Amino acid sequence: MNSIVTTNIVRFIVFVLLQVLVFKGISFGGEWSGYFNLIVYPIFIILLPLRLPHFLIVILGFVLGISIDLFYDSLGVHASACVFLAFIRPVILAVLAPQGGYNMSFSPTKARFGNTWFLIYSSAMLFLHLFFYFSVEAFTFYHIGQIFLKTLFTFFISMIFIIVYQFSLNPLD
């Protein structure tokens, strides 16, 4: 029990710091650099324990988003995406539920539920997060094509990091 709490607190701090100190500064793609963002902090919401009540996940999402926003100087933009992601998480989990349902004492990690399941689950979550984030960032659907491109490019490079993280450290919780 306590180890899960500690793991998640550490994960929160590490990923916020990684995001704002390292990934925020990485830029490539030249004049297309606006399309290539490394956004990996949603992994915190993705990996929260399954038995955590929904409302707590939403609140934690808000706290995570606001922490990121403080450093990105974009108060509310990341937070709204995180709150949305936290809200939609049970829906994604319900759609992807394995036969016989989930063991509620687990966290949705690769180690617990296998490679394929984790890849589908984390891709769906990250994609939804990024699409919502870039929509709020643009604040209009006038440039919907641009929003899609940004989401796609950012999705692929961020997904690489999430895969590397899960496969190298392979955390149980």
Partner 1 sequence: MRNLIFLLVKYGGVIFFIILEIVCFSLIVKNNQKQKEIYDSTNQRLTGYFYNNWDNMTHWWGMSSVADSLATENAHLRAELKNAQFISTILKDSAYNEASRQRYTFIQARIVSNSVKNNNNNLRISRGTDHGIAPHMGVIASGGQGGIVGITTATSPSHTRVMSILNRNSRISVEIESNKEFGSLVWRANDYDKMRLEDIPKDVVFSVGDTIQTSGFSSMFPQGIIVGTIDTSWVESGSNVHTIDVSLINDLRKIRYVYVVNDLLKEDIEIIEEDLENE
**104 three-state secondary structure:** coil
Which C-beta is closer to partner 1: that of 53 or that of 101?
53
Least distance from partner 1 to the Cβ atom of residue 138, Å: 9
Which C-beta is closer to partner 1: that of 89 or that of 110?
89
Residues 23-62 that bind partner 1 (CB under 8 A): 53-59, 61-62
Spatial neighbors of 132 by CB under 8 A, at least 6 apart, are 80, 81, 84, 85
Number of residues that bind partner 1 (CB under 8 A): 24
Helix ranges, the chain (H):
2-17, 43-46, 54-72, 77-95, 110-113, 115-138, 144-169
Least distance from partner 1 to the Cβ atom of residue 20, Å: 17
C-alpha dist (Å) from residue 6 to 3, 12, 35: 5, 10, 35
Least distance from partner 1 to the Cβ atom of residue 89, Å: 9
Separation between Cα atoms, residue 52 and residue 17, nearest integer Å: 24
Which C-beta is closer to partner 1: that of 66 or that of 149?
66
Separation between Cα atoms, residue 115 and residue 167, nearest integer Å: 9
DSSP 106: S
Residues 62-101 that bind partner 1 (CB under 8 A): 62, 65, 74-77, 79-80, 83-84, 86-87, 90
Find tokens 């149980």 and name the residue.
172
Least distance from partner 1 to the Cβ atom of residue 109, Å: 22
Which C-beta is closer to partner 1: that of 131 or that of 166?
131
Least distance from partner 1 to the Cβ atom of residue 169, Å: 29
Which C-beta is closer to partner 1: that of 90 or that of 98?
90
Separation between Cα atoms, residue 162 and residue 31, nearest integer Å: 25
- Kindly list the residues in this chain that would bind partner 1 in the complex (CB under 8 A): 53-59, 61-62, 65, 74-77, 79-80, 83-84, 86-87, 90, 136, 139-140
